[in-house]
Amino acid sequence: MDYDIIIIGAGPAGVTAAIYADRAGLKTLILEKMYVGGQIVNTYEVENYPGFTQILGTDLAIKFTEHIRAFPNIDFKREDAKTLSLSGDVKTVTTKKNSYTAKTLVLAMGSSPRRLGVPGEERLRGRGVSYCGTCDGALYRDQTVAVVGGGNSAIEDVIFLSRLCKKVHLIHRRDEFRAHKKMTENMLQLPNIEVHYDSVTEEILGENAVNELKIKNVKTDAISTLNVACVFVTIGQIPSNDLVKGTITLDELGYIVTDNTLATNIPGVFAAGDGRNNILKQIVTAAADGAIAAYGASVYIAGL
């Protein structure tokens, strides 16, 4: 057998799971198809992770990378898990290049941005349709942009973009926000923000790049068009659990169901982070998940 534990994903959950697994003396492999840090890399500033009153998301991801490298017994491979074999005592993960076996597995694949599903979105993706204000906001400095959404992430994007852009339209389908009250109050005080309540996106327009956004008021059916250079879509996440559909028990939204040790329905398989059915999806909760999942794996291996 190659490893004691294989961790799929190197976001906060996966990185923490690897650190705790190594400290427990487990031979550990992390598989990550992109980069260490997960969605942290797309976060401009982090202010709510203990030890850092303020740190750039990219800098925190670098810290995570350095932490992994400080443990020479953690193997890190930039490979995408393609198939899993989870029955029995030996778990097998197959990538395009290799197959790896382990006694336990931690699923920490995270989630991906939810799409609007309106005309023009896919065609203009990367040409004025963005899913990360902190990543792409600087490209639209001194221009007028729109943000679609009403949760914490949407409000964070509006506040960030207000510092760069001439004007920010916020398109929200309800008449009140789901976001934290203090954050919303701060956003509403900004002078270059216009909120379009009870409104949904109908179409994103433009030939080679976005130049207009068509919206509809859901109460009056009135259609209006906004002149914008970019539409930032921030309407939630979809768990990246396609790899385990039909094998691992998922809830109605597609999140992995776990018990209090973060064990799934298959013995020896655990889940951590944004792909799990937790009530709060933050860096600190993902990191906590990673620690618990690694502990659960070590207990499972010990037969306790």
Instruction: Name the residues annotated as catalytic.
Output: 132, 135-136
Q: Give 280's DSSP letter.
A: -
Contact criterion met (CB below 8 Å) for 178 and 151: yes
The 3-state secondary structure of the chain reads CCEEEEEECCCHHHHHHHHHHHHCCCCEEEECCCCCCHHHHHCCEECCECCECCEEHHHHHHHHHHHHHCCCCEEEECCCEEEEECCCCCEEEEECCCEEEEEEEEECCCEEECCCCCCCCCCCECCCEECCHHHHHHHHCCCEEEEECCCHHHHHHHHHHHCCCCEEEEECCCCCCCCCHHHHHHHHCCCCEEEECCEEEEEEECCCCCCEEEEEECCCCCEEEEECCEEEECCCEEECCHHHCCCCCECCCCCECCCCCCECCCCCEEECCCCECCCCCCHHHHHHHHHHHHHHHHHHHHCC
For 9, other C-beta atoms within 10 Å of its C-beta total: 30
